[in-house]
Chain A
Amino acid sequence: MTRFANVLRGLGVEAGDRVGLYMPMIPELAIAMLACARIGATHSVVFGGFSAEALRDRLNDAQAKVVVTADGGYRRGAIVPLKANGRRGAAPGAVRRAGRGREPHRSDRCRCTTGRDLWWNELMDEASDVGECAALDAEHPLFILYTSGTTGKPKGVVHTTGGYMVHSYITSKWVFDLRDEDTYFCTADHRLGDRPQLRRSTASLANGATTVMYEGAPNWPEPDRLWQHHRQVRRQHLLHRPDRDPQLHEVGRRSGRASTGSTACACSARSASRSTPRRGSGTGARSATIAARSSIPGGRPRPAAS
Chain B
Amino acid sequence: MSDQIQSVLKEERVFPPPPEFSAAAHIQSDDRLEQIRRDAARDPEAFWAGIASDLHWFEQWDTVLDWNPPFAKWFVGGRRTSATTASTATSPPGAATRRRSSGRASPATAASSPTPTC
Contact = CB atoms under 8 A, between A and B. Distances in A.
Nearest to A165: B82
Interface string A165-179: 110011001100100
Given A173-B26, A296-B27, A208 B80 contact: no
Contacts of B51: 166, 169-170
Interface string A133-144: 111111100100
A162 B111 contact: no
Contacts of B61: 138, 162
A105 B33 CA distance: 52
Contacts of B108: 212, 232-233
A221 interface: yes
A284 to B, nearest CB: 14
Interface string B76-109: 1111111111110000000000010011111110
A37 interface: yes
A208 B86 CA distance: 7
Contacts of B73: 138-139
Interface residues of B, number: 57
A142 B58 CA distance: 16
B105 A233 contact: yes
B11 interface: yes
A301 interface: yes
B54 to A, nearest CB: 7
The B contact surface, by secondary structure, is: loop
Given A180-B87, A235-B104, A277 B26 contact: no
A297 B25 contact: yes
Given A37-B82, A77-B118, A170-B51, 9 more contacts: A169-B86, A181-B102, A212-B108, A277-B18, A296-B33, A297-B21, A298-B28, A299-B27, A300-B16
Interface of B: 6, 8-9, 11, 13-18, 20-22, 25-30, 32-33, 48, 51-52, 54-55, 58-59, 61, 73-87, 99, 102-108, 110-111, 116-118
Interface of A: 1, 5, 34-35, 37-38, 74-77, 79, 133-139, 142, 160-166, 169-170, 173-174, 177, 180-183, 202, 205-208, 210-212, 214-217, 220-221, 229, 232-235, 246-247, 249-250, 268-270, 272-274, 277-279, 296-301
26 contacts: A37-B82, A133-B84, A135-B58, A135-B80, A138-B74, A138-B76, A138-B79, A139-B73, A161-B81, A162-B74, A162-B78, A166-B75, A177-B26, A206-B55, A208-B87, A210-B104, A214-B118, A229-B110, A235-B104, A268-B13, A277-B17, A296-B27, A299-B33, A300-B16, A300-B30, A301-B15
